[in-house]
Structure 1
Amino acid sequence: MSILRIPGEAVRIVVWSFIIWIVLSTIIPQALVKYTNIEIQTNKYTKNTYPYNSLTSPTPLPIQNSTVYFIVGHPDDEVMFFSPSIIEISKVKYNNHVKLICFSNGDSVDESMGKIRSHELYESARILGISAEDVIVLEDEFKDGMNVKWDSNLIKQALVANVDMNDIETPKVFITFDESGVSNHPNHISLYYGTINFFNTYFKKSDNTNKLNSIFVLKSLNFWEKYSFTLLNNVELFVDHLSKLLINNILKLNANINITFFSKKNFKSASIFIYSDLNMLSVSYAAMSYGHFSQMVWFRYGWLILSRYLTYNHLIQLA
Structure 2
Amino acid sequence: MAVFITCLVAIVVLIAYQAFVLIVKNYSRHHFKRENVLFVTAHPDDECMFFSPTILTVDKAFLTCLSSGNYYNLGEERRKELLASCRILGISDQNVAIIDNSHLKDDPNATWDEDIISAIILAKIQKHRINVVVTFDDYGVSGHKNHTSVYKALRQLVTKKQLPTGVQAYCLESIPLWRKYLLQLDLPISCLLPQGLLFVSSWQGVWQAQKAMYAHWSQFVWFRVLYIIFSRYMVINTLKPIRA
Give the TM-score category using the shorter length: 0.7 to 0.9
Name the aligned partner's letter for residue 216 of structure 1. Answer: Y
Q: Which residue of 2 is the match for residue 132 of structure 1?
A: 93
Structure 2 gap segments, 5+ residues each: 1-9
Give the corresponding residue for 1:37.
Answer: none
Query: For residues 166-222 of structure 1, what are the alpha-carbon distances to aligned partners after superposition, in whole Å with 9 as ceiling and x for unaligned?
Result: 84xxx6100000001110000000000111223444326xxxxx1x32000000011
* Residue in structure 2 matched with residue 5 of structure 1 by the alignment: none
Change (3 A) 1:100 1:229: same
1:303 is the counterpart of 2:192:
no
For residue 202 of structure 1, give the secondary structure of its aligned residue in structure 2: coil
Could you give the per-residue CA deviations for residues 284-305 of structure 1, whole angstroms, max 9, x where no partner exists? 011111x211112111110011
TM-score under structure 1 length normalisation: 0.67
Is the 2:43–2:106 Cα contact (8 Å) retained in structure 1?
A: yes
- TM-score, structure 2 normalization: 0.86
- Output the amino acid matched with 1:272: L
Distance (Å, rounded) in 1 between the aligned partners of 2:197 and 2:93: 27
Equivalence for 2:121: 159
Contact 1:22 1:278 in 2 (8 A): no
- For the 8 Å contact 1:153–1:194, the answer to whether it is kept is yes
Identity of aligned residues (%): 31
Residue of structure 2 in register with 1:78 after alignment: 47
What code does the residue aligned with 1:202 have?
Q
TM alignment of 1:1-319, pairs within 5 A = 22-26=14-18, 28=19, 53-56=22-25, 58=27, 61-90=30-59, 97-110=60-73, 113-141=74-102, 142-164=104-126, 167=129, 172-199=131-158, 200-203=160-163, 210=165, 212-233=166-187, 235=188, 258-260=191-193, 271-289=196-214, 291-319=215-243
Contact 1:148 1:186 in 2 (8 A): yes
Aligned pair in 2 of structure 1 residues 228, 137: CA closer, same or farther (>3 Å)?
A: same
CA RMSD of aligned residues (A): 2.5
Larger Rg: 1
Q: Is the 8 A contact 1:56 1:272 kept in 2?
A: no
SS at match of 1:316: strand
Relative distance call for 1:59 and 1:127 in structure 2 (3 A) is closer
Q: Which runs of 5+ in 1 are unaligned?
A: 1-17, 31-52, 91-96, 205-209, 238-257, 261-265
